[in-house]
């Protein structure tokens, strides 16, 4: 497991079985907001990092730089903004990676960015939804589904009042569809497609919404039985359910019935995530890393042994 500290961006690794920690190195003064395994590399997207984007090979020694022999390789491009907050990163079709970010200091319109890690070719699309930041992403067939926040970089003032859900075509580079999934919501997160073809997401950390991509319509909304979620911390579990993090603990969504249930309460507020490997879910409470084994029965359990302190 790999993770990042905050201010500065201490990059570390943890053996998930033994809990043994390994300090890799510092990758900037800010933090890594998103990580994505991609082939034999780990892709990093950072706020105030050594570079906005980095390619790390876990098999090689830490030696950051811009040459092909560096590790991580620092990836820069003309449109980069070091103060962006790259909150979403997903693998797309044909080797491309898609990123969504809150815009830099004092600005609105955080971009959707396309990155090909093989060639390091980049394209950036700011203001895809005018004056809104792209902050959550999911692949729906060959299309990119995205959700926004009305907020921008520190010091900016929103001009929009409702966050939007959209579908974007990577081939034509065109926005195909957009809607307000939850009236008056200002932030969306946790977009995730289910095997039944529906797209799930959370608005303002309080409301579940379900989108039928084929019919292009919202088919369900409901208040959650808790409030507050870390950004983009959900995954499809081996049981076919959606598992995710709330500030209060671990939740499960049944994609067939839309039932949301808090499965376990954390011993302290959950502040970050997220990794799901088999039936083991890893998350952070402050500077502590915790492990939770997915429950087969809906039992609230306060016992979550820390991987390490």
Mention every residue, 6+ apart, whose C-beta is less than 8 A from residue 202: 188, 189, 190, 208, 209, 224, 229
Q: What is the pLDDT of residue 254?
A: 97
241: phi then psi, degrees, rounded to nearest 5: -95, 160
Place of tokens 């909150």: 87
Question: Is cis: bond before 150, omega within 30 of 0?
Answer: no
Q: What is the pLDDT of residue 17?
A: 82
Q: What is the pLDDT of residue 93?
A: 84
Residue 6 three-state SS: coil
Q: What is the pLDDT of residue 19?
A: 80
What Å distances lie between residue 284 and 151, 163, 203, 228, 272, CA to CA? 25, 27, 22, 15, 5
What Å distances lie between residue 272 and 52, 177, 269, CA to CA? 20, 31, 9
Q: Which DSSP state fits 295?
A: P
Radius of gyration of the chain (CA): 19
- Residue 210 to residue 221: CA distance in whole angstroms: 6
Distance of CA 225 to the CA centre of its chain: 22
What pTM, to 2 d.p., does this model score?
0.94
pLDDT tens for the chain, 309 residues: list them.
Answer: 999 999 999 999 999 888 888 999 999 999 999 999 999 999 999 999 999 999 999 999 999 999 999 999 999 999 999 999 999 999 998 899 999 999 999 999 999 999 999 999 999 999 999 999 999 999 999 999 999 999 999 999 999 999 999 999 999 999 999 999 999 999 999 999 999 999 999 999 999 999 999 999 999 999 999 999 999 999 999 999 999 999 999 999 999 999 999 999 998 999 998 999 999 999 999 988 999 998 754 443 444 444 543
């Amino acid at each position: 497991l790999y993770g990042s500290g905050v201010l500065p961006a201490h990059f570390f690794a943890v053996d998930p079985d033994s809990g043994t920690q390994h300090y890799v190195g510092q990758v900037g003064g800010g933090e890594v907001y998103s990580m994505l395994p991609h082939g034999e590399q780990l892709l990093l997207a950072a706020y105030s990092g050594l570079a906005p984007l980095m390619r790390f090979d876990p098999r090689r020694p830490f030696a950051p730089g811009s040459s092909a022999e560096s590790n991580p390789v620092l990836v820069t491009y003309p449109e980069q903004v070091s103060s962006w907050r790259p909150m979403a990163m997903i693998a797309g079709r044909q080797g491309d990676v898609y990123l969504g970010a809150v815009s830099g200091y004092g600005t609105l319109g955080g971009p959707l960015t396309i990155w090909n890690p093989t060639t390091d070719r980049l394209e950036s699309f700011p203001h895809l939804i005018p004056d809104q930041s792209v902050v959550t992403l999911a692949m729906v067939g060959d299309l990119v589904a995205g959700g926004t926040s009305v907020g921008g970089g520190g010091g900016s003032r929103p001009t929009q009042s409702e966050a939007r859900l959209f579908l974007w075509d990577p081939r034509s580079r065109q926005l195909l569809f957009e809607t307000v999934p939850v009236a008056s919501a200002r932030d969306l997160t946790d977009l995730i497609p289910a095997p039944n073809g529906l797209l799930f997401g959370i608005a303002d950390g309080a409301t579940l919404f379900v989108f039928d991509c084929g019919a292009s319509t919202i088919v369900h909304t409901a208040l959650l039985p808790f409030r507050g979620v870390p950004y983009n911390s959900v995954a499809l579990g081996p049981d076919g359910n959606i598992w995710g993090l709330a500030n209060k603990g671990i939740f499960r969504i049944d994609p067939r019935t839309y039932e949301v249930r808090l499965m376990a309460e954390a011993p302290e507020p959950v502040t970050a995530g997220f990794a799901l490997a088999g039936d083991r879910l890893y998350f952070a409470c402050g500077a502590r890393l915790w492990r939770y084994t997915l429950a087969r029965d809906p039992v609230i359990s306060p016992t979550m042994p820390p991987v390490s302190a």
